[in-house]
A and B are shown apart, each in its own frame.
Chain A
Amino acid sequence: DQQVKQNSPSLSVQEGRISILNCDYTNSMFDYFLWYKKYPAEGPTFLISISSIKDKNEDGRFTVFLNKSAKHLSLHIVPSQPGDSAVYFCAASDSGGYQKVTFGTGTKLQVIP
């Protein structure tokens, strides 16, 4: 039962353009959402998060949008840079930011110079 779904296994974007990574979830109890970035041979690194009481959170080039009615969130990266090339995981928590987190399967982003 995949409660957090990332339906695009990969995405290629030109440097300088916008990258949009999508994520859907099925568990309506999720109240906190996070994005992680992972480089090969390293652990995931926290990128940005959003509480279910918000619909947008921005941090520099990264913006996360949450559409609760559609159970959908997206990560926008503008402008995309070659160093952004990595696997991006969407994750969700049903405990207000405590305890366990449920991860999606990841989207591999390639930013082409």
Chain B
Amino acid sequence: DTGVSQNPRHKITKRGQNVTFRCDPISEHNRLYWYRQTLGQGPEFLTYFQNEAQLEKSRLLSDRFSAERPKGSFSTLEIQRTEQGDSAMYLCASSPPTGIHGGYTFGSGTRLTVV
């Protein structure tokens, strides 16, 4: 297992366009998380899945954001009608059924730049 994989690594898009990111968690991890990190800040929680169920969404996740995890495997995060304020690093993490006592495993992130 190569860890948590995120694609693409970088995405440059024009304001108003839609973008979709993909996250492939560690195969035996049933929990999957999306975070967003802006310059000078720590990662901010966006949403969390346990298997295919989306159990929690942050108020940061506006109506333009949607996340899915069909069949409890990979996950996608879509941003519609992108704005310049959406420019950030989007991080995916996963953890096993026993929770995060050993900490999340993060992917390397997708850096989004909205121009």
Contacts and interface: CB of A to CB of B under 8 A. Distances in A.
Q: Interface SS of chain B: helix, strand, loop or mixed?
A: loop
Given A99-B48, A100-B33, A100-B48, A44 B43 contact: yes
Contacts, number: 64
B67 interface: no
A63 interface: no
Contacts of A106: 41-42
A49 B101 contact: yes
For chain B, give the interface size range: 20 to 34
Interface string B58-70: 1000000000000
B85 interface: no
Nearest 6 interchain pairs by C-beta = A46-B103, A43-B106, A103-B42, A97-B99, A100-B45, A98-B99
Given A89-B43, A103-B35, 4 more contacts: A43-B91, A43-B109, A100-B45, A100-B58
